A and B are shown apart, each in its own frame.
Chain A
Amino acid sequence: MNRLHQSLYTAASLVVLLGLWYAGGLAFPEVLPGLPETLAALITVLTTPGPYGNMFYFHVWKTIEMLFASLFVSMIVGTILGIALGRSDSLESTLSMWIYGWLAIPSLVIVFVSAIWIGFNATSGYFAVPVVITPFIALNMWEGARNLDPDLAEMAEFFGAGRFQKFKDVIVPQLAPFLFASFRSGLSIGWKITLLVEAFLLTRGVGFMFKRYFDNYDLPTMMSWLIIFVVFLIIVEYGVLAPLHERVMEWRPEAEGVRVTE
């Protein structure tokens, strides 16, 4: 399938979705906000200041700020933790049960506990979001570190590669797919937790807007906010992550459809 075909299929799926939405809005107006109403609400959101006189980009920016700051911290902590777990048997035996325990704590509980400990402010969010997503990233990197090829390590050892050269040329490239997977899962989980924090604790950000329009039973405006953020995440994936991933992974045989003759 070539690129043109791919975009045609994507465009077709969008048209079908909009068509279904339009028809659904006519058939079940109480459940599904109509397409025209949603578009009108979207235009209002995009053009007029909302609560506290802030434009939509202020709220989107606040959400992005919390999401990406948390991702930054979690990627560092989770990667270090995951690699340490994958490399040391004793650390693995000591900590693995607690990692699974950490994963089992509902994110809602973490958000509430942060609010009690820290208060109804952004600091709670900057604490809660990394606490929720770090174990997911650690779990991923743990898997990656366990799969490091001992044969390559031996080869590098034999040729006398130093610590830095081994890290940059042998270890990091093997972990790259896991770094991407971690970032993607961190992003998708993190944005949901950021919304929770904003909805329950704060008076700004996309989560707060959902809460506010939920209180007003204003479904078309909630849909508009959903559209804004989903579009943003799609741009991050297709505009940044996918091209970067392709670049880093260009050595893979399937990258140009070349068959490996073994």
Chain B
Amino acid sequence: MTASNETQMSADASADTLKLRDIVKRFEKPGQGQILVLDRVDMDVEGGAFVSLLGPSGCGKTTLMNVVSGLVEPNSGTMRRGDRDVSPNDLSLGYIFQEPRLLNWKTVAENIEFALEARDVPESEWEERTERYLEMVGLGDEGDNYPTRLSGGMKQRVAIARALAIEPEIILMDEPFSSLDEITARDLRQELLEIWQREQKTILFVTHDINEAVFLSDYIYMMNTDGEMFAKRNVDIDRPRKYDDPAIAERETELYREFHENVVH
């Protein structure tokens, strides 16, 4: 573990910082024995921050995020917040997957109600929440439409509304824009940042796209293919950020160089 902490967190922020320590995860692969996916990984997710997990494909980013989500049980390691050990069940989480993962046989509004029902939100609140969050992602008129009639970008907007509708503190996002065309993806990133700032959410964002990570994040964790977290880097660029800001390109180049040294041997 060579993670160097560039930031000194304020005492305030550290109280609701989610701290993962020494997370180890091994998977059994048929014919290959055990594979070490996460090698004693540490990660701090500060409250209200936009945090990215950056790394090449198959490096265990999604696995690490799923340790937070509870979909993956680590072999060892702790997750703490304040002075207490926490489990995924103690956290208020939303999830936006790489694919929209909508129920195609339900209307857009019913897809959001599915999550509300699953989270035991009282039925009396469904209509108001569905309307509110569909409006927020710009799909106020699509509630009665079926997902199969929507474009890829619109489907991912529905998935964002679904994650927001359960009103989580932390939103987990797993390469949510990677299957969209670049123009659609850029629009969605802008809107995501606006929503994040207005709604005061914490976002943990998995990506393999350095430019995307720099544009979006407050700080970036970088992983290599050996399951090690080798760096934590800040992005000190004022918001709102612009795609053509030379500072973004510059930071991207620096991080790329670092990646190249650590990942490509």
A159 to chain B, nearest CB (A): 4
Pairwise interchain contact A160-B103, C-beta atoms closer than 8 A = no
Question: Which applies to chain B's interface (DSSP): helix, strand, loop or mixed?
Answer: loop
**In whole angstroms, what is the CA distance A187 to B120 when docked?**
41
Q: Does A260 contact B (CB under 8 A)?
A: yes
Q: Which A244-262 residues have a C-beta within 8 angstroms of B? A: 250-253, 256, 258, 260-262
> Judging by beta carbons under 8 Å apart, are B118 and A151 in contact?
no
Q: Are B148 and A251 in touch, CB under 8 angstroms? A: yes
Interface digits, B95-134 against A, CB 8 Å rule (1 contact, 0 not)? 1010101011110000000110111100000000000000
Interface residues of B in 127-175 (CB under 8 A from A): 146-152, 166
Main secondary structure of the interface of A (DSSP, over half): helix
- In this assembly, does B71 line the interface, its C-beta being within 8 Å of a C-beta of chain A? yes
Alpha-carbon gap, A155 to B69, bound state (A): 11
- Please give me the residue from chain A that is nearest to B159 by CB atom: A155
Assess A157 versus B148: contact at CB under 8 Å? Given A162-B118, A173-B103: no
B99 touches A169 (CB 8 A): no
Interface string of A152-170 (1 = CB under 8 A from B): 1011111111100100011
CA–CA, A169 to B118, complex, Å?
11
**Which B residues lie within 8 Å of A165 (CB)?**
114, 117-118
Q: Which residue of B lies closest to A261 (CB)?
A: B151
Contact A251 B104 (CB under 8 A): yes
> Are the CB atoms of B101 and A155 closer together than 8 Å?
yes
Q: Among B103, B146, B148, B151, point to the contact of A170 (Cβ < 8 A).
A: B103
- Which chain B residue has the least Cβ–Cβ distance from A262? B152
The chain B residue sitting closest to A248, CB to CB, is B105
A252 to B152 alpha-carbon distance, docked (Å): 15
Within the assembled complex, what's the spacing in Å between the Cα atoms of A252 and B151?
14
Q: Given B71, B106, B147, B151, which contacts A157 in the complex, CB threshold below 8 Å?
A: B71
The proximity string for A residues 5-47 relative to B, scoring 1 for CB distances below 8 Å and 0 otherwise, is: 0000000000000000000000000000000000000000000
A156 to B106, CA, bound (A): 14
Query: What residues of chain A lie closer than 8 Å to B114, measured between beta carbons?
Result: 156, 159, 161, 165, 169
Residue of B nearest to A158 (CB): B95
**Are B105 and A173 neighbours in the complex by a CB distance under 8 Å?**
yes
> B residues within 8 A CB of A157?
71
A253 and B152 alpha carbons, distance in the complex (Å): 13
Collect the chain A residues with CB atoms within 8 Å of residue B97's CB. 151, 154-155
- Beyond the given pairs A176-B105, A251-B105, 18 more chain A to chain B contacts, judged by CB atoms under 8 angstroms and listed by A's residue number, are A151-B99, A152-B101, A154-B97, A156-B118, A158-B69, A159-B115, A160-B120, A162-B118, A165-B118, A169-B106, A169-B114, A251-B106, A251-B146, A251-B148, A252-B148, A253-B149, A260-B151, A261-B151
- 17 example contacts (A-B, Cβ-Cβ < 8 A) are as follows A151-B97, A151-B101, A152-B101, A156-B114, A158-B69, A158-B71, A159-B115, A159-B166, A160-B119, A161-B118, A165-B114, A165-B117, A165-B118, A251-B104, A252-B104, A260-B148, A260-B150
